[in-house]
Structure 1
């Protein structure tokens, strides 16, 4: 059986990358979300959670034994050394989790969805990169409407993510999502047909 090639799917906040990802799933494409993998590696009973508690103490746990992300974020937010320690623990585990999941794919290609695909170096796992793009003003409007957050909060998130032109520089394909949901679906279907013709992610 041919091993599926990996498509990296990314986009800034409010670009519509989750909606695009769902359309690919509906078309039968095997997909893993890096954010989900990041949650799996710190579930109760997993070694990473024990290491985190050992380092930061029980205050990073909720009453039910789950990781208290907000408490941990608070502890590492202003301490670069602690943040680096956490990243060096989690990034390899997340990468391994993603690879294991992608290896089980039975579709001709599989997708790794990650908001930080470029910043985290996860592009190394992919053969091709699809960027879901939208004008920044539209990203702001969508995010404020969806998450009920202030303009200042949206700006902070936009600043933390890779600059739009940096993302586009890494793109093999760009899906401009500036119209309605039906347009997005038809664009995903068009790309899917194209991807099925590729061997190893290249024409």
Structure 2
């Protein structure tokens, strides 16, 4: 079993960029958020559970997820969002374990926005938090997600675990504030993980 490394960070922190650098180094990377979206249409157990909890309208007649319907059901409604997450996260956990066991590299990365909130961190060996100041994160997301307003992004930030709490739980921090070069930080961690895994 490879060494299990988690990577997380708030919206706009740049965790996807950091994962790209690790991938260039040959590190297998599991994107939990993308896999969750896939599993919500391909995992029969999860599809049934979502229909039972949120209704048949959660999917269209072709079996595609009705994202707008679900988003309207859970946006800014913490209890409903928690219900959805309680269905999705365990299935992602099973999918990740299968994927991880099939990898041959000394270590793997699991990228997830809700690594701490979903308790997924408990099954991992080390956690990296990618950190950036709020104003930089806001500017990045506004530049990237043209469909989102500053108010929506601020709401997402407020609903995510506070940065200080994430940093307190981190084993390693990558600072992505546009003054600290990211590549040397990744290369340093890459060397450390190869040593840990050997």
Map 1:69-88; keep pairs closer than 5 Å. 69-77=67-75, 82-88=80-86
* Corresponding residue SS for 1:42: helix
The worse-fitting range, judged by mean Cα deviation, of 155-164 and 42-51 is 42-51
Deviations 1:107-138 (A, max 9, x none): 11101100111111111121101111111111
Deviation at 1:27, TM superposition (A): 0.7
Name which of 77, 84, 91 aligns with 2:89: 91
Return the alpha-carbon distance in structure 1 between the equivalents of residues 131 and 113 of structure 2: 12
Q: Which residue of 1 aligns with 2:37?
A: 39
Q: Which residue of 2 aligns with 1:116?
A: 114
Number of corresponding residues: 197
Map 1:1-203; keep pairs closer than 5 Å. 3-44=1-42, 46-77=44-75, 82-148=80-146, 149-179=148-178, 183-199=181-197
Q: TM-score, normalised by structure 1?
A: 0.87
Deviations 1:150-191 (A, max 9, x none): 22112101101110000000111111011279x222321222
Deviations 1:43-80 (A, max 9, x none): 24622213323444332213432111221222344766
Q: Runs of 5+ in structure 2 lacking a partner?
A: none
Return the alpha-carbon distance in structure 1 between the equivalents of residues 64 and 145 of structure 2: 24
Instruction: Note if contact 1:44-1:65 (Cα within 8 Å) is conserved in structure 2.
Output: no
Deviations 1:85-120 (A, max 9, x none): 433332221111111111111111101100111111
The worse-fitting range, judged by mean Cα deviation, of 33-42 and 49-58 is 49-58
Instruction: Note if contact 1:17-1:132 (Cα within 8 Å) is conserved in structure 2.
Output: yes
Return the alpha-carbon distance in structure 2 between the equivalents of residues 69 and 188 of structure 1: 34
* Corresponding residue SS for 1:179: coil
Instruction: Note if contact 2:107-2:197 (Cα within 8 Å) is conserved in structure 1.
Output: no
Instruction: Note if contact 1:8-1:114 (Cα within 8 Å) is conserved in structure 2.
Output: yes
From the superposition, tell whether residues 118 and 82 of structure 1 become closer, same or farther in structure 2 (CA, over 3 Å): closer
Deviation at 1:84, TM superposition (A): 4.5
From the superposition, tell whether residues 16 and 6 of structure 1 become closer, same or farther in structure 2 (CA, over 3 Å): same
Q: TM-score, normalised by structure 2?
A: 0.89
Instruction: Note if contact 2:23-2:29 (Cα within 8 Å) is conserved in structure 1.
Output: yes
